[in-house]
Chains A and B, each alone.
Chain A
């Protein structure tokens, strides 16, 4: 029973689809952001798994994972600031009621 590349890919796929379902089916914007973080983590697992099992000496996948983490941190900071600002103006973070741009 050895753990191979497929184990990590399927684990990452399961986590990605859980996050996708949550991001599509929730009404609270903060919950949607949490699900997006789960999806980004799943992508990072695939990056590190490919780096380990396919180009084991180059470590490029781990460097890509570091850049993804940077972008995820920036996205979380800006996204949560937007939600706090929206809550201050409209008293809600329900995405079904954020329809100002809908014609």
Chain B
């Protein structure tokens, strides 16, 4: 991909991601908010593609837009608060102030820091490189990988035990 193509793709995907995230936060009907969340996840997958992370984009579509979004839609259906469920609480104004301050701090620090960026690499597939970095014998991430699988097993068993009819 050329630089202009990446720039156009980034701006389109960024606008879609921010607009759909705002719709998730502001929309009163929580079922529609859950469905527009899928659009947000898919546009973030596109952002990963502009960052040359093709494996992560595929994982994003599979896990977030597939699995997590479906689980959230199921939870919305099972709790039956859909039409009026997304109301504001008493602290919406302090929350707005805190978020705005946080945004200002983030933008200021990221613009004022002198990041030591490297020159651009050619875009090439990352799947085998991720596998090598993850399972390398010397400096890989084998123990965190195993712990993550135990975490997923514990979360699955815990979710079944919590949500089961007594």
Q: In the complex where A34-B33, A52-B51, A56-B118 touch, is A24 in contact with B91 (Cβ < 8 A)?
A: yes
Task: Give the CA-CA distance A14 to B87 in the complex, in Å.
Answer: 22
Residues of A within 8 Å of B37, CB to CB, are: 34, 37-38
Can you give 13 contacting A-B residue pairs, CB < 8 Å? A13-B107, A17-B100, A17-B103, A21-B99, A26-B86, A28-B87, A37-B72, A38-B25, A44-B44, A54-B115, A74-B152, A78-B159, A81-B160
Measured CA separation A87–B87 after assembly (Å): 17
User: When chains A and B are docked, how far (Å) is the Cα of A84 from the Cα of B80?
Assistant: 10
Residues of A within 8 A of B30 (CB): 28, 30-31
Contact bitstring A43-78, B, C-beta under 8 A = 1, else 0: 011001101111111111011011101111111111
Closest to A96 in B: B89
Cβ contact of A81, chosen from B87, B111, B118, B163, cutoff 8 A: B163
How far, in whole Å, are A72 and B110 apart by their CA atoms in the complex? 25
* Contact for B14 among A11, A55, A78, CB less than 8 A: A11
Assuming the contacts A38-B21, A84-B163, asked whether A7 and B10 have C-beta atoms less than 8 A apart, the reply is yes
Bound Cα distance A10, B158 (Å): 37
Which residues from B are CB-within-8-Å of A53? 115, 117-118
Choose from A41, A62, A74, A82 the contact partner of B53 (Cβ within 8 Å).
A62
Interface size on B, residues (CB 8 A): 87
Q: Of all chain A residues, which has the CB nearest B21?
A: A18
Which of these, B25, B68, B130, contacts A72 with CB under 8 Å? B68
Q: A31-B30, A59-B133 are in contact. Are A77 and B159 (CB under 8 A)?
A: yes
Q: Is the CB of B98 within 8 A of A20?
A: yes
Residues of B within 8 A of A63 (CB): 130, 133-134, 141
Residues of B within 8 A of A49 (CB): 51
